[in-house]
Structure 1
Amino acid sequence: MTPEDQAWLTQIRHELHKRPEISGEEQETAAAIVEVLAACSPDRVLTDLGGHGVAAVYESGKKGPIVAIRCELDGLPIQETADLTYVSEYTGRGHLCGHDGHMAMVLGAAKALSNSRLETGSVVLIFQPAEETGKGAVAFRHDPKFAEITPDYVFSLHNLPGLDLGQVELCPGPANCASRGMRIVLVGKTSHAAAPHDGKSPAQALSRLMFELEKMGPDGPMDEAFALTTVTHANLGAATFGVSPGHAELWVTLRTVTDVRMAELIGAAESMVRSLAEAEGLSVTIEYDDIFEACSNDSEAVRVVSDACAAMGLSVLTSSNPQRFSEDFGQFAKGAKTAMFWLGAGKHHPQLHNPDYDFPDALIPVGTGVFLAAINRLLGFES
């Protein structure tokens, strides 16, 4: 990557950073991506995939694999606190996971492909909406237009604070945990606080559930038996001294390494919740949101990434433990060979989703280079 290209991509990243949009609302971001792609001469651009998703297609005109590179469009509903010249202009929203940097890397691949000729096959650059809610990849894949670009390989990355700047880490096999948000609503009967016996308060059930559910996922080794349950929100009645409550709500995040273990954990948690509610004379409803299936890397796709890193002179750390946080990238494994790798954002860099997080611009040429080396290994291209 030339210094001019790096400066161009850095400026694009900063502009994207200033105007973050949350999951499902990425219309302006998608339009900005389409505008930049127009200068990168793709053979086709598809829009509105699974919401505001965008795909740019580069074709060799010869039969061969379809290789996709995926990044994310969405920011987070978090107020940014970093002292930056390009700080978010939108109150309560920020690119605090680095998706702006991921987009810049994939646009870097577009720029390189515009000046190259593929020897075989096609490249699809995917700009996916709504990763943060776990809904984007599902919607993208099920969009009828996806049938036009169904890939054989899909590669993606995520920057990773806590890992040395520019260091690559790969997890053969399981790469990200499955997770889902469990919302439990308990309903009894309100009463005057002086006559709680005339009502049915869910207070005891709520307090027991907060304890018992976390016992069901006690953490531990990241193997097939791993389970982690985290209470994230609880609400009991109204903020008043005069009413014995009749309503309670509990939010819990369930997390496992495998989808099979997740199904077991869901079954056990639901059984326990319903049994306790029945014993307390309460009605109960259970709903789920932020549903992420487990993400697992394909062995052949992992080798492609490893070879791409070697071609760039990058060392690769191999980890046997998946990341605890979740990713909807695993959806692309339903029909393609996939691999996600981690790119270090710095040992002491602010953590993802922190209000002072900012993507390191020095990673743009590294991530772009790995993507291009992977494409070259599978398809070949000439500058």
Structure 2
Amino acid sequence: MQQYEIKDLPDLVKFRHTLHQYPDLSGAEGDTAQRVVEQIQKYEPDAILTQVGGTGVVAVFEGKDSSQGPVILFRAELDALPIVETNPHLQHQSARAGVAHLCGHDGHMTILIGLASLLHQQKPARGKVLLLFQPAEETGAGAYAMLQDERLLELKPDYVYALHNLPGRPKNQIVVRDNVFASASTGMIVELFGKPSHAAEPENGVNPGQAMAEMILAFNQIVQQKELFQDLTLLTVIHARLGEIAFGTNPGYGTVMATLRSYHTADLQILKTITKQHVQQIAERHGLKFNISFVEEFPATVNHVQEVQWVRKAAEKLKLEVANAVDPFRWSEDFGHFTARYKGALFGIGAGTEQPQLHHSNYDFPDEIIPTGAKLFYSIVQEILNA
């Protein structure tokens, strides 16, 4: 079908490579957002909103009859990761030390630009299509921030969609799942406050070391109690620190950090409650004061059944292979904030069976799947309008 042909694919690939060369970290995506605005202006959207929820961008494409019909939103992410790229043979390697697009957000943005190209060629019969470029997905803050912006809320989306590339899956395979698609997670920081003393007089201080050891063991035991949870629930201790490197000092401060993760938001809340109880009991037993904080909170991304079905039908019409994910993915996605408010779905697109995994230092988004993603998004619009 001619309307699904992207006429300027080489230009889009070049744009993706530019995004990859100049990545921005979460919350500081100003340069990337400006590049997106400059590129998408070529396709004459009816409106472009900038600085939405921070550095976010929303491009509005109206249908032939924009007063009637649904408002359909598609999302991509602006931010990169604080990881050193180790791919020396890549001609478009990151030019910013210690920062790289190793999750494929550069490709996701380019797919939305490809959708803009298709919408420019042939407007939908009715309704509106919103192309949303979101900041700070990697920290879990961006989706929530954009959903607090009245300019976005006034557009009143009826449906929301996003995709994520999936290394290990055949290129262009479409991976769908009803209900939970990606896990809920949060980072937990436990601070323990005792009393420092001279290392020669440890009895005159309160060292948190023993309590830290007990907490780590207790944390590992919590998730072994499978009967407490509906489904997969994980707790991974990712950092622990006791005092400073000073051999003459008995430390009085320690910190333990962990990632809590589950398929279901309710299980994550149970895990948080039990973990806090253990911290309180152990701290009090050792005469320590404590503080617990949670950061980078991601709700579970829960898909809506009808909206997933439209993805399936759109993919089948494009003669794409569709696979159903048996279990939710263990990684988290803050698109869950969108699907909690609006009907919609997050789905996957295969990035290749030999592709390095997400967040690996030698990962690079495969350009071959750019047109597939853009055409599928356009086809989803058609499925919704024809429903």
TM class, shorter-length: over 0.9
Task: Please give the alpha-carbon distance, in whole angstroms, between the structure 2 residues aligned to 1:64 and 1:291.
Answer: 34
TM score, norm. by length of structure 2: 0.95
**Off by >6 Å, runs of 4+ in structure 1:** none
Task: Please give the alpha-carbon distance, in whole angstroms, between the structure 2 residues aligned to 1:315 and 1:167.
Answer: 5
Question: 185, 193, 215: which one pairs with 1:179?
Answer: 185
Task: Please give the alpha-carbon distance, in whole angstroms, between the structure 2 residues aligned to 1:149 and 1:22.
Answer: 28
Task: Please give the alpha-carbon distance, in whole angstroms, between the structure 1 residues aligned to 2:96 and 2:9.
Answer: 26
1:207 aligned partner: 213
For structure 1, which runs of at least 5 residues remain unmatched after alignment?
Answer: none
2:86 aligned partner: 81
1:334 aligned partner: 340
CA distance change for structure 1 residues 7 and 220 in 2, over 3 Å: closer, same or farther?
Answer: farther
Task: Please give the alpha-carbon distance, in whole angstroms, between the structure 2 residues aligned to 1:119 and 1:214.
Answer: 55
Q: Deviations over 1:89-134 (max 9, x none)?
A: 1011000100000000000000110111211111001101110000
Counterpart residue identity of residue 124, structure 2: L
2:119 aligned partner: 113
1:231 aligned partner: 237
Counterpart residue identity of residue 313, structure 1: K
Contact persistence 2:349–2:373 (CA under 8 A)? yes
Task: Please give the alpha-carbon distance, in whole angstroms, between the structure 2 residues aligned to 1:353 and 1:324.
Answer: 14
- Secondary structure at the aligned position of 1:238 is classed as coil
Question: 44, 48, 55: which one pairs with 1:45?
Answer: 48
- Secondary structure at the aligned position of 2:351 is classed as strand
Q: Deviations over 1:343-362 (max 9, x none)?
A: 11122311111111110111
Aligned residues: 379
- Secondary structure at the aligned position of 2:261 is classed as strand
Contact persistence 2:72–2:128 (CA under 8 A)? yes
1:280 aligned partner: 286
2:59 aligned partner: 56
1:243 aligned partner: 249
Contact persistence 2:172–2:321 (CA under 8 A)? no
RMSD: 1.5
CA distance change for structure 1 residues 219 and 237 in 2, over 3 Å: closer, same or farther?
Answer: same
What fraction of aligned residue pairs are identical, expressed as a percent?
40
Counterpart residue identity of residue 266, structure 1: K
- Secondary structure at the aligned position of 1:379 is classed as helix
- Secondary structure at the aligned position of 2:23 is classed as coil
1:93 aligned partner: 99
Q: Compare 210-219 and 172-181 and name the one that shifted more.
A: 210-219
1:372 aligned partner: 378
- Secondary structure at the aligned position of 1:302 is classed as helix
Residue 36 of structure 2 is aligned to residue 30 of structure 1: no
- Secondary structure at the aligned position of 1:225 is classed as coil
- Secondary structure at the aligned position of 1:352 is classed as coil
Residue 75 of structure 2 is aligned to residue 70 of structure 1: yes
Contact persistence 1:73–1:99 (CA under 8 A)? yes
Task: State the shift of 1:226 in Å.
Answer: 2.3
CA distance change for structure 1 residues 359 and 63 in 2, over 3 Å: closer, same or farther?
Answer: same
Contact persistence 2:6–2:371 (CA under 8 A)? no
Contact persistence 2:194–2:252 (CA under 8 A)? yes
Q: Deviations over 1:187-209 (max 9, x none)?
A: 10111112111111000111111
Contact persistence 1:76–1:93 (CA under 8 A)? yes
2:317 aligned partner: 311
Task: Please give the alpha-carbon distance, in whole angstroms, between the structure 2 residues aligned to 1:208 and 1:69.
Answer: 46
Task: Please give the alpha-carbon distance, in whole angstroms, between the structure 2 residues aligned to 1:371 and 1:5.
Answer: 17
Task: State the shift of 1:292 in Å.
Answer: 0.3
Task: State the shift of 1:378 in Å.
Answer: 1.5
Contact persistence 1:218–1:229 (CA under 8 A)? no
CA distance change for structure 1 residues 81 and 234 in 2, over 3 Å: closer, same or farther?
Answer: same
- Secondary structure at the aligned position of 2:329 is classed as coil
